[in-house]
Amino acid sequence: ASLLPVTRNLKFLVAVRPGLHQPALAARMAATFDRLSGGRLLINLVTGGDQAELEGDGVFLDHATRYEQSAEFIRIWREILTRSHQGESLDFEGKHLAVKGAKLLFPPVQQPHPPVYFGGSSPAAHDLAAEQVETYLTWGEPPAEVAKKVADVRARAAKHGRTVKFGIRLHVIVRETDEQAWAAAEELISHVSDDTVVRAEALRRVYTIGRGLLRQPDQLQAVGGLSFELRAGRTLAVVG
C-alpha cells in the first residue's frame, strides 16, 4: 500500500487466504485498495498446501475441506464486490461459511471486481479455477505437464460457459550481467544440501531437473530442482 502514491502503472497481486481472512472483510479491504490504487489490484487466492504451516496458522482442515471452504470464500467475496456497484447486499449460507446482509458502502473501481488469480494441481483446484477465477497460475514445470493443466482447466471452464486466462510463475534472478546473475544463482543453491532436495521431493512431488544449474543458451535458463522455498512445482528460475 505504501507504493500506491508513488506508482501509476504498477499492479499489485495481493494474497487472500481462506481460513485466515473472512470473505466480507477481505472484500472491504479489496475495494479500498482498488479505489486507492485507481483500479490496479489483483487478487491471489491462496488455499495453502503445507499442512504444518497451515496448522501453525490455526487451520486444521484437510485438503478436500480447504478447497470447499475456498470455493465458498471466493464466491462470497466476488458476490459482495459485484453487488456493491448497485448497492445490493448478499445473503449466503454454505457448508463452511455464511453471511447475512453483507454489503459495501463503496465499490471497487474495477467491475465487477478485481481479477482473481489462483493456482493448484488437484482436480478440486482445477474445478475451483474453472468456475470462479480469471487467471489460472502454474509453476515453471515441464512443458508437457503445464500443457496438461492448461487443457484440463480450459475444458472444465468451457463446461461452465467460461474462459480462463493462464500464467506461469517463475523466480527471476537478475543482475547487471549474465555472469553476475549466474554467480548469484550458484550462491543460492550452494546453501541447499542434497538431503534437503530429496526431502522436498518426497514431500512435494517436485519435478526435478537435478540439483545444480542447467544452462541452455537462447532457451529458458533455469535453476533446476529447487527454489527459494522448495515447494511443489517451484522448479525454475529465469537467470540473466
pLDDT at residue 234 tops 50: no
pLDDT at residue 235 tops 80: no
Residues 6 or more apart in contact with residue 49 via CB below 8 angstroms: 120, 231, 232
The model's pTM: 0.80
Closest by CA position to 77, among listed 127, 123, 121, 15: 15
The grid cell for 161 is: 460457459
pLDDT in tens, 97-111: 999 999 999 999 999
How many Cβ atoms are within 10 Å of 80's Cβ, its own excluded? 26
Closest by CA position to 141, among listed 212, 80, 64, 222: 222
- Residue 225 has φ and ψ, to the nearest 5°, of 80, -5
